[in-house]
Amino acid sequence: ILFENSLITQSRLMLLESILIFFILLAVLSYLKFHNSQKESPFSARWWLWLLLTGISCSCAVGVKYMGLFTYLLILCLAGIHSWQLLGDHSLPNVSLLGHFLARGLALLVLPVAIYVSFFYIHLILLYRSGPHDQIMSSAFQASLEGGLSRITQGQPLEVAYGSQITLRNILGKPLPCWLHSHRNIYPIRYDNGRGSSHQQQVTCYPFKDVNNWWIIKDPGRQQLVASNPPRPVQHGNIVQLVHGITTRYLNTHDVAAPLSPHSQEVSCYIDYNISMPAQNLWRVEIVNRDSDNEIWKTILSEVRLIHVNTSAVLKLSGASLPEWGYRQLEVIGEKISKGYHQSMLWNVEEHRYGKSHEQKEREVELHLPTQINISQKLTFIAKFTELQWKILTLKNEDTEHKYSSSPLDWITLETNIAYWFHSSSGAQIHLLGNLV
User: Phi, psi at residue 52, to the nearest 5°?
Assistant: -65, -35
Chain Cα centroid distance, residue 123: 19
Sign of the four-CA dihedral 69, 75, 81, 85:
negative
What is the 3-class SS of 242-258, one letter each residue?
Answer: EEECCCCCEEEEEEEEC
> What confidence score (pLDDT) does residue 420 get?
73
Burial profile 278-293: b = 16 or more Cβ within 10 angstroms, e = fewer: ebbbbbbbbbbebeee
Q: What is the per-residue pLDDT for 87?
A: 86
pTM of the model: 0.68
Q: Which CATH class is domain 156-368?
A: mainly beta
Structural contact between residues 57 and 66, judged by C-beta atoms closer than 8 angstroms:
no
Residue 381 CB neighbour total at 10 angstroms: 12
Element spanning 126, H or E: helix 111-126
Contact 377, 144 (CB under 8 A): yes
Per-residue pLDDT of the chain (437 residues; tens, 9 = 90+): 566 777 777 777 777 888 999 999 999 999 999 999 988 888 899 999 999 999 999 999 999 999 999 999 999 999 999 999 888 888 888 898 999 999 999 999 999 999 999 999 999 999 888 777 777 788 778 878 877 666 666 668 889 999 999 999 999 888 888 999 999 999 999 998 889 899 999 999 999 989 999 999 999 999 889 999 899 999 999 999 999 999 999 999 999 999 999 999 999 999 988 777 788 999 999 999 988 777 999 998 899 999 999 999 999 999 899 999 999 999 999 998 766 678 899 999 999 998 887 777 777 776 766 554 444 456 789 989 998 998 888 775 544 455 556 676 776 777 777 777 778 788 888 877 766 66
Long-range contacts of 10-19 (CB under 8 A, 24+ apart): 10/420, 13/421, 16/64, 16/65, 17/65, 19/64
Instruction: Please give the pLDDT value at position 372.
Output: 46
Q: Where in the sequence of the chain do the CATH 2.80.10.50 domains occur? A: 156-368
User: Residue 423: which residues within 8 A CB-CB, separation 6 or more?
Assistant: 429
The secondary structure element, H or E, covering residue 100 is helix 94-105
